[in-house]
Amino acid sequence: MPTSLHPNSPIILYQQLAQLSNQIVENIRQQQWVTAAELCHVYSDILELLKTLPHLTREQRKKRRAFLSTILNNDAEIRAYLNPQSQAINCIHNASISNAYPMQTGLH
């Protein structure tokens, strides 16, 4: 059986992580907190399983890239939703930097 079809194939596991992260985002949007938390536990179990598998081949790393993009985008959305204070802090920080270092006009 080819590695790419094996249930513990790293690529299959990354695909599952991407699908789970999509489901977590959807459940958070719908404020289905219990379901989202349960999915997070499954997600963590898959991450632990990935740690036990051998390193990826070049071909596998190439295939993983698309899944990582989905996973990272979902992670950013989850973090923003769960920690809205961080967005407010970023706005304040950016405003204070703009005030501290206004654009140079060329006049001294």
Distances (CA, A) of 30 to 23, 96, 100: 11, 35, 40
Q: Determine the pLDDT at residue 85.
A: 62
Of 49, 8, 10, 41, which is closest to residue 23 (Cα–Cα)?
41
Alpha-carbon separation of residue 78 from 52, 70, 86 (angstroms):
26, 12, 12
pLDDT for residue 104: 46
Residue-by-residue pLDDT tens, the chain, 108 positions? 343 446 679 999 999 999 999 999 999 999 999 999 999 999 999 999 999 998 899 999 999 999 999 999 999 999 988 887 666 666 665 565 555 544 544 444
Neighbours of 11 (CB within 10 A): 20
Residue 2's pLDDT is what? 40
List domains and CATH numbers for the chain.
8-88 (1.20.58)
**pLDDT score, position 50:** 92
Cα–Cα distances in Å, from 29 out to 13, 24, 35, 107?
Answer: 24, 9, 12, 50
pTM reported for the whole predicted model:
0.71
